[in-house]
Structure 1
Amino acid sequence: MSVRQSILITGASSGLGRGMAIEFAKLGRDLALCARRTERLEDLKAQLLDINPNIKVLVKALDVNQHEDVFRVFREFQQEFGKLDRVIVNAGMGKGASVGTGYFHANKQTAETNFVAALAQCEAAMEIFREQNAGHLVTISSISAVRGFRRAMTVYAATKAALTSMSEGMRIDVANTPIRVTCIHPGFIRSEINEKVEKVPFIVDTETGCKAMVGAIEKEKANAYVPSWPWALLHWVLRIAPDSMIRKMS
């Protein structure tokens, strides 16, 4: 398997996106990083070049809900690097509350960012990969994709289930071509999206989680549940667990 040298990561200014960028810098990969908060991206760029002065790091402002900007920014990165070897669709959010409790706006924001904006990113990436006849699309789903969850997780889990399904469809669509599609399902990894949540089973710190994610991405399997312990096994348990157990988890 050839090395995927140029890697684009959305939502790279914080959390898992930032953590993955650090791990890829350690591996000597060139990085195209985008997010809304450019000052954070510039700080991250300096940190990555300290880790590895021999890599190339490009940063651009991008709100993934501005869909035309997604296509433009991805093209600009491709032109500046000459090609894109891997695109990681990572940008997302976890706002929301139980359906019907007055938080439609927040639930809608999560739905639009985690699925419609993800579709825009996948469209932009796959257009480039089809032209190149090469590339690796990586979508960042969640362990929550395997079941419906309550309260703030209801819409979030639904968007991740949709992203997992879309990833599978894209993978089937480009089977027997040089284009690969991988869907990563992180378990509970501490990041900005969940920093206020206190009691979480099996949670790991950001660095541990991101190392596991990058390791899985490098293997380019169809689906990965990370960290593999316990999620490679536990995702099967979650699928058949009674609703009463799921209720206690969220």
Structure 2
Amino acid sequence: MTRQKILITGASSGLGAGMARAFAARGRDLALCARRTERLDELKAELLERHPGITVAVAALDVNDHEQVPKVFGALRDELGGIDRVIVNAGIGKGYPLGGGKLWANKATIETNLVAALVQIETAIEMFTAAGGGHLVLISSVLGNVGVPGHKAAYCASKAGLSSLGQSLRAEYSSGPIKVTVIEPGYIESEMTAKSNTTLLMVDNETGVRAMVDAIEKEKARAVVPGWPWRPLVELMKVLPTRFVHRFA
């Protein structure tokens, strides 16, 4: 099934902008939202210049403003004439060792990556139920499979929670018109990974996004991307003693 009208949160940069470019190249209509509207406007202009046959709607959205999420989703749906797929992508990578005195950083990560994601999920499911179907995509992380000591502890916990929500939804909507996919990216070049100074096993944005979009289009229940080397590494990380896991993370 072709999902023609796609909503992406956190679309102003990184993986969100990369997915927007990839879907635009496939002729899809896009609803893009993020906090940085100037970047969204630039991205919209770029996409329409390259692919004049598509429709691109943009809107300002801070996903932590929970009351605005259903309003913005609804306005974008109305502008496009419907939404077939929602990609819950907005997230941050702040963090500090637990007990290190920077609760605000860990709290912000949990609130943005998990609580705000829950609000987006609720909104999308309600929208799809009213429309008679749709495809919900949750952008988690390979680090949602394992706890990592240090500044990534809260990030891992937030992504583990998001993956768990996806698993619950897949069980609830195991049949019927609503499909649920959880994508677990490894290290893909983006603003977030640049700030983390992570270089081990990093792939460029285009390669990583291509793997993500291919998995999304197949509507897989769960996909670790890129498959090599991350699929075997994820399984290895699950069984390694915790003190060794940080070498991959």
The CA deviation at 1:233 is 2.0
**2:96 & 2:237 partners in 1: Cα distance?**
22
* 2:157 matched residue in structure 1: 158
Tell me the C-alpha RMSD between the 2 structures: 1.0
CA deviations 1:16-75 (Å, max 9, x no partner) are: 000000000100000000000000000000111122110000000000000110010111
* 1:207 matched residue in structure 2: 206
* 2:39 matched residue in structure 1: 40
**1:247 & 1:26 partners in 2: Cα distance?**
37
**2:104 & 2:200 partners in 1: Cα distance?**
29
The CA deviation at 1:150 is 1.5
Partner-residue secondary structure (3-state), 1:249: coil
**1:196 & 1:77 partners in 2: Cα distance?**
31
**1:63 & 1:198 partners in 2: Cα distance?**
25
Give the alignment of 1:1-250 within 5 angstroms: 2-250=1-249
The CA deviation at 1:199 is 4.9
**1:169 & 1:180 partners in 2: Cα distance?**
12
Structure 2 unmatched runs, 5+: none
CA deviations 1:189-224 (Å, max 9, x no partner) are: 111012144453211011111111101100101000
| Contact 1:94–1:152 (8 Å) recurs in 2 | no
| Contact 2:30–2:57 (8 Å) recurs in 1 | yes
| Contact 2:148–2:242 (8 Å) recurs in 1 | no
**2:243 & 2:99 partners in 1: Cα distance?**
21
**2:220 & 2:84 partners in 1: Cα distance?**
16
- Letter in structure 2 aligned against 1:151: G
**1:211 & 1:102 partners in 2: Cα distance?**
39
Partner-residue secondary structure (3-state), 1:177: coil
Sequence identity, in percent? 53
| Contact 2:106–2:154 (8 Å) recurs in 1 | yes
| Contact 1:167–1:181 (8 Å) recurs in 2 | yes
Moved more, 225-234 or 31-40: 225-234
The CA deviation at 1:244 is 2.5
The CA deviation at 1:96 is 1.1
**1:71 & 1:49 partners in 2: Cα distance?**
26
Partner-residue secondary structure (3-state), 2:22: helix
**1:26 & 1:142 partners in 2: Cα distance?**
25
CA deviations 1:101-128 (Å, max 9, x no partner) are: 0110011001100000000000110000
| Contact 2:96–2:106 (8 Å) recurs in 1 | yes
- Letter in structure 2 aligned against 1:237: L
The CA deviation at 1:82 is 2.0
**1:55 & 1:199 partners in 2: Cα distance?**
35
Partner-residue secondary structure (3-state), 2:23: helix
Structure 1 unmatched runs, 5+: none
TM-score normalised to structure 2 length: 0.97
